[in-house]
A = this chain, B = another copy of it.
Amino acid sequence: MSSPLLATLIESLRCLPGVGGKSAQRMAFHLLERDRERGLRLADALREAMEKIGQCSRCRDFSESALCTICADGTRDAHLLCVVESPIDLVAIEQATGYRGRYFVLHGRLSPLDGLGPDELGLPLLAQRLGEGEIEEVIIATNPTVEGEATAHYLAQLARAGGIKPTRLAHGVPLGGELEFVDRGTLAHAFGGRQLLD
């Protein structure tokens, strides 16, 4: 590369997930040739976000203020709490469902080998919230992986200990999917959990 700054930019762009050497090169040249203005805006947005975005003190979602907009929103149902592994799961639920309750973000799942225990997932903070007496149902939306299920089991116990009803997202055949292509575990689960039509 004839320009050291350009080489640094291309190397730095590779920190983005899904971006390899070739795409990084294309991105760098595109910005330099056509879009320096937006490149500078991206630099500012990155710096600001990396420096200022912290966690909401109540739900641990990403937020630049002490209380995120969802926790600060008085119209949200305070009786429902949905627990997710990561902020991106929260976004997915917000976009797909009409859920109007509150959230709690674990930023991971129980995984002792990776050093992720109850403290790292903020479970003391969660227990404290459950103890406030307002919450009636904890919707456990951890991923349906082995570690996600273990975490869900732990969270359910925590909820029951506080006299709160734990619920879990339903497993089954995805909408629009064809049975032929559904994996065995899911199909067995959907079959066993069949529901009466009325």
Which A residues lie at the B interface, using CB under 8 A?
1-6, 8-9, 11-13, 15-18, 23, 25-33, 35-36, 38-53, 56, 61-64, 68-70, 86-88, 90-91, 107
**How many whole Å from A181's CB to the nearest CB in chain B?**
22
Could you say which residues of chain B place their CB within 8 Å of the CB of A27? Answer: 16-18
Q: In the bound complex, how far is the Cα of B17 from the Cα of A38, in angstroms? A: 12
Complex contact B62–A26 (CB within 8 A):
no
Complex contact A49–B15 (CB within 8 A):
no
Main secondary structure of the interface of A (DSSP, over half): helix
Contact of A5 among B1, B3, B41, B49 (CB under 8 A): B49
Q: In the bound complex, how far is the Cα of B86 from the Cα of A64, in angstroms? A: 41
Could you say which residues of chain B place their CB within 8 Å of the CB of A61? Answer: 2-3
Complex contact A18–B26 (CB within 8 A):
yes
Contact of A40 among B18, B33, B47, B87 (CB under 8 A): B47
Given contacts A42-B46, A43-B43, A46-B43, contact A30 B6 (CB under 8 A): no
